[in-house]
Chain A
């Protein structure tokens, strides 16, 4: 089974999903994230699904579970990069992911979390 790597940038844990998700992988990610939040004291989690071409009810529910779990450990979760076709399908499936914060891309997601973004290069302003 593949595992999804978790990267740390400052106070934020970044998960960028680049594989076809199977159920066990999603469950493992949930546990790995819980561990990493506790170990690092991260205040935010970003799940980047730019490369994910389907989100079914199981995967969608896991995003909601991860968001609730992180919140209990004082970390905010933002799902970023959802493809339009995935969003249309999720709504038709009956899953609106009400409890999950979303942002269009990674940069906007970082902003939602109040994470510092790279400064403008000196001399360009």
Chain B
């Protein structure tokens, strides 16, 4: 069930900032606590940067969601058509990096979210879905 559904392109550094701002706005409107807003916005920043830097650009969809038990939350779906992630276990290992980063992006986003889903196919792209529920 979706009350709000907005999609943004991620093709520049500015877009990473826009994704953060959008997630912040949707989370605040959903009534999420400041700490949880900060966590989901930080996760969004990591994922959007990954999409821009490693995925060659893509898009982010931000939704205000409600689960079967009536609990509200915010969901972010980040998609790219990049090279895909060859080794998911490695990519989710803290400290492992394919570039010059700290290797905190994916594992960090997973820790900051309540739900985390990674869908990737070599040569076709990567989709990461994170959800944070309102406490």
Which residues of chain A have a CB within 8 Å of any CB of chain B? 20-24, 53-58, 61, 83-86, 88-89, 92-95
User: Using a CB-CB cutoff of 8 Å, which residues 76-107 of chain B contact chain A?
Assistant: 94, 101-102, 104-105, 107
A57 engages B35 (CB within 8 Å): no
A24 engages B112 (CB within 8 Å): no
Q: How many A-B residue pairs have CB under 8 A?
A: 70
CA distance A83 to B105 in the complex (A): 21
Smallest CB-CB A-B distances: 8 pairs: A85-B38, A57-B104, A56-B45, A93-B108, A22-B13, A85-B35, A89-B38, A20-B17
B17 engages A92 (CB within 8 Å): no
B39 engages A89 (CB within 8 Å): yes
A95 partner residues in chain B, CB cutoff 8 A: 102, 104, 108
Q: How large is the interface on B (under 10, 10 to 19, 20 to 34, 35 or more residues)?
A: 20 to 34
CA distance A121 to B41 in the complex (A): 44
B17 partner residues in chain A, CB cutoff 8 A: 20-22
- B34, B35, B42: which contacts A56 (Cβ < 8 A)? B42
- B16, B21, B37, B102: which contacts A57 (Cβ < 8 A)? B102
Q: A23-B49, A57-B102, A94-B104 are in contact. List 9 more A-B contacts (CB 8 A).
A: A54-B20, A56-B42, A58-B45, A83-B38, A85-B37, A89-B112, A92-B39, A92-B108, A94-B94
CA distance A93 to B39 in the complex (A): 9
Which residues of chain B have a CB within 8 Å of any CB of chain A? 13-14, 16-17, 20-21, 24, 34-35, 37-39, 41-42, 45-46, 49, 94, 101-102, 104-105, 107-108, 111-112
Cβ distance A66 to chain B, nearest Cβ, rounded Å: 15
Cβ distance A71 to chain B, nearest Cβ, rounded Å: 19
B107 nearest in chain A by CB position: A94
B41 partner residues in chain A, CB cutoff 8 A: 53-54
- B34, B104, B108: which contacts A85 (Cβ < 8 A)? B34
